[in-house]
Amino acid sequence: MFEEVPSFVDYHCHLDLYPDYEKQFRACDAKRIATLAVTTTPRAWPRNKVLTGTTSLVRVGLGFHPQLVGDHVEDLRLFAKYLPEARFVGEVGLDAGPAHYKTFADQKRTFETILKLCAQAGGKILSVHSVRSAREVISMIETHLTGTDNRVVLHWFTGSVAEARRAAGWGCYFSINQAMLGKTSTIMLIKGLPKERLLTETDGPFTKIGTRPTIPSDVAETTNLLATILQESPQETRKLLISNLTQLEKRTQCAGV
């Protein structure tokens, strides 16, 4: 699978949440963007699986967003049911921001179950949310996924430099979006990471450029900005990101869509 060589990587985008989502799925192939279409609820899995089946560069993640856990604890059963079909898992994780802290205990139970299910199954690639909870997320990953062949991509990482190093030491990848590159502290953090662990993402349509939602092709500009940070040419960075994607996906089994 995914034998075609892409030009760019968007490893965290909610393709199914755009009003013109069918066009967005097709555009990933047309513009040669290897895209991980994350979802926020396991209820979205069957439809996203069908949409992804019509493309060659879109991967689909079985998701259970931490911000939705409070209302949908019963969806965990559905998550477990679909997991054997999924090679990619996301968006999952924890959110200790003020709006979602009240469900944090439920979120932890849910994320723990998801990690245990992934550990049992093996070969999954997870796109993980860690708002104000990087330390907790990293220690749960260490506890449940160490010694398995699952891989983790920390999406929109906002933890400390020490936490980033700890996550990189465990083997985590980091998907970087343009909003992150507006902060000097984040740029310094990225400079300190092994560049073999970097990927790009948009987190569209939740992020914006001006007043419009981002779309996967916006990773071209993110790649250019990252090139400046890494002091490389855009072409070298583009190759680096494709190579990182290939290495990440090579390390896991090829089960599921």
Q: Which two tokens stand for residue 83?
A: 């997991």
Q: Provide the minimum distance between the beta carbon of 203 and Mn ion in the complex, in angstroms, as a whole number.
A: 5
Q: Which is nearer to Mn ion, 163 or 203 (CB)?
A: 203
Coil vs helix vs strand at 27? helix
Nearest residue relative to Mn ion (C-beta)? 203
Q: Provide the minimum distance between the beta carbon of 180 and Mn ion in the complex, in angstroms, as a whole number.
A: 13
Question: Which candidate, 198, 238, 247, 205, places its Cα nearest to that of 220?
Answer: 238
Q: Provide the minimum distance between the beta carbon of 166 and Mn ion in the complex, in angstroms, as a whole number.
A: 22
Q: Which is nearer to Mn ion, 38 or 240 (CB)?
A: 38
Q: Which is nearer to Mn ion, 12 or 124 (CB)?
A: 12
- Footprint of Mn ion on this chain (CB under 5 A)? 91, 203
- DSSP3 helix / strand / coil % (the chain, rounded to 5): 50, 20, 30
- One-letter amino acid at 163 equals E
Q: Which is nearer to Mn ion, 47 or 251 (CB)?
A: 47
Question: Which candidate, 131, 187, 197, places its Cα nearest to that of 167?
Answer: 197
Q: Provide the minimum distance between the beta carbon of 9 and Mn ion in the complex, in angstroms, as a whole number.
A: 15
Coil vs helix vs strand at 198? strand
Length of the chain measured in residues: 257
